Amino acid sequence: MSTPVQKVAKIVGEREQCFTIPSVTYSVALIDDDPVLTELLGEYLKTDGFEVMVAGDGLSGTELALSGQADIVLLDIMMPGQSGVKTLRQIRAASTVPVIMLTGRGDDLDRILGLELGADDYVPKPCTPRELVARIRAILKRTHPTEPAAQSLQVGELILKPGERRAELRGVPLLLTSTEYSLLEILVRHAGQVVIKDQLSEEALGRPLARFDRSIDTHISSLRHKLGSRSDGQQWIETVIRRGYQLVKA
């Protein structure tokens, strides 16, 4: 027969098991031709609990990103030989693995092009490792949710399955990036209502909307292209000037 002390110990042990959160290690594919930078970022990411795989050029970087080993990709846009833009295009032709671009602070055209090709976010170089990790965790939090799967969401012929992070239009799956899916889910949950850009940036990108930042607009443009027109000929997503966007409610 158990003593009172043993009974209490058993209860405490059971509660600890119930509230223990399993430790998950995520893998980062770092594609950059700068060995000093990759060593610096690699060491910081490892210290923060990530597994890091490095590729020093676009060709090997594409193979690494498409190997199925990486949970997220960090991709330098300016690389000799095969550029980061071409590498991103090859990755997106075969995978929806999240991609964060590493860009120069003045490379606005490359940044916009990268977002249009399906990058989930960008970080201007030079950046602090802490900022980079925050961006990585914001995306992984969306792509690997720990909360129970929510019920399907539907607006007309558009159906979202949050637990699987999948969207279907007229029964056909939509090939969306992580950020595009997040934006669409926010708009669907607020169908018929205006969602301001600040909220979209905070919830979909995990960061405040910076001045002159066109990331949200670029992602929305891509979403519109993939959604096409509604059965009534209208666009699914309307722009509300100087405010934000809204999904048209049937």
Domain spans in the chain, listed from the N-terminal domain onward? 27-143, 153-247
Cα distance between residue 166 and residue 223, in whole Å: 14
Cα distance between residue 76 and residue 79, in whole Å: 7
Place 16 in a pLDDT band, splitting at 50, 70 and 90: very low
> Percentage of the chain with pLDDT > 70?
87
Q: Given CATH 3.40.50.800, say whether it is the number of domain 153-247.
A: no
Task: Give domain 27-143's CATH superfamily.
Answer: Response regulator (3.40.50.2300)
pLDDT exceeds 80 at position 8: no
Residue 58: which residues within 8 A CB-CB, separation 6 or more?
31, 79, 81, 82, 83, 84, 86, 87
Place 105 in a pLDDT band, splitting at 50, 70 and 90: low
Please report the pLDDT score of residue 150 as a whole number: 67
Q: What is the pLDDT of residues 48-76, one digit of tens each?
A: 999 999 999 999 999 999 999 999 999 99
Q: What is the pLDDT of residues 131-154, one digit of tens each?
A: 899 999 999 988 887 665 568 999
pLDDT exceeds 90 at position 5: no
CA 111 vs. chain centroid, Å, equals 16
Q: What is the pLDDT of residues 188-244, one digit of tens each?
A: 999 999 999 999 999 999 888 888 888 999 999 999 999 999 988 899 999 999 899
Element (H, E) at 153: strand 153-155
CB 77 within 8 A of CB 89: no
Cα distance between residue 36 and residue 194, in whole Å: 45
Cα distance between residue 243 and residue 182, in whole Å: 19
